[in-house]
Structure 1
Amino acid sequence: MTDEQEIKSTLEDYAKAYCTKDIDALMHVFEDCDDISVIGTGADELCIGRSSVKELFLRNFAEATANQFEWQWSKVTISNDYAVVAISLAIHLEYQGSKLEIPIRWSVALRKTDRWVWLHRHASSPASNQDEGQAYPQEA
């Protein structure tokens, strides 16, 4: 398997663990150290360290159930033992009795150890008040 295939496999590992709410498998995707970080789409979702990241995911699991990660556009850049993944996706989930499809954009930083591990994941949502072809939102 090529490095790029191994890296993309970590995305599948993350998605499977997230959908099954398997916190141990989800945390296994990340490097086993306290330097990992996650930035989520929520205003308070700025996490550094394993316990903070784990708490965020457990909160996510309590609030909703994801059923599918639909991968879309992606770019993998590899430099020696480090890599960056830029990817867009839709997460299909159930939240408060409703089925939702949430568009997300991720940046994932990885390091090669005996396997590719995540050091950082940043998530954002496309601006809903910004028209296609415009550099800035219509309203602040």
Structure 2
Amino acid sequence: METLEEYAEAYCDKDLDRLMALFVDGEGLSLIGTGADELCSGRAQVASIFERNFRDATAKRFVWKWQDIAVHGTSATVAVTLDIHLELDGDDVTVPVRWTVSLVKIDDNWKWVHRHASAAAGSQNKGSAYPTGES
């Protein structure tokens, strides 16, 4: 969770260099965001998503909710839900998000390899495996 807190702080500070330093060196990193076009790999593409996010809104804080962390030697998978509190066009907005983060341990530091963000499907009824189109 420490690396997630560091991510949240860098993100809220709009500190791209600090944020990118959390990821592995080189080009072997990827990110999937909640936007339909947010599918990217490599440092330049990942950084461009963060730059766009920083232009569009200002994150104020991250509130962690459900968490499941599995460590397997020098790799880990973190699955969390969270609320991101933003200022967007002068309004305070809370965005509920689901994250999966893949990490590898390099020396004594956990480095991000992949981050996937999603929003729960609003068109899917509770208890249903798939959206049915019924409300």
- TM bucket normalised to smaller: over 0.9
Which 5+ residue runs of structure 2 have no aligned equivalent?
none
Say which SS state the counterpart of residue 60 (structure 1) adopts: helix
User: Which has the larger helix fraction?
Assistant: 1
Runs (4+) of structure 1 exceeding 4 A deviation are: none
Shift of 1:138: 3.0
Distance 1:34 1:44 in 2: 19
- Partner-residue secondary structure (3-state), 2:125: coil
Matched position secondary structure for 1:139 = coil
Any stretches of 5+ residues in structure 1 without a counterpart?
1-7
Provide the residue aligned with 1:33 in structure 2.
26
- 1:4-62 per-position Cα deviation (integer Å, ceiling 9, x unaligned): xxxx1000000000001000111111111101000000011011000110011000000
Structure 1 position 87 matched with structure 2 position 80: yes
Letter in 1 for 2:43: R
CA distance in 2, matches of 1:118, 1:135: 30
Q: What is the root-mean-square deviation in Å for CA atoms of aligned residues?
A: 1.1
SS at match of 1:17: helix
Q: Give the alignment partner of residue 113 of structure 1, picking from 71, 85, 106.
A: 106
Query: Residue 134 of structure 1: CA displacement?
Result: 1.9
From 30, 41, 53, the equivalent of 1:48 is 41
Aligned length: 133
CA distance in 2, matches of 1:89, 1:138: 26
TM-score, with structure 2 as normaliser? 0.95
Partner of 1:4: none
Identity, in percent, stands at: 50
Give 1:123 shift. Answer: 0.3
Cα deviation code 1:75-114 (max 9, x no counterpart): 0001111000010001000111211111100000000002
Instruction: Spell out the pairing of 1:1-140 with structure 2 (5 A cutoff).
Output: 8-114=1-107, 115-139=109-133
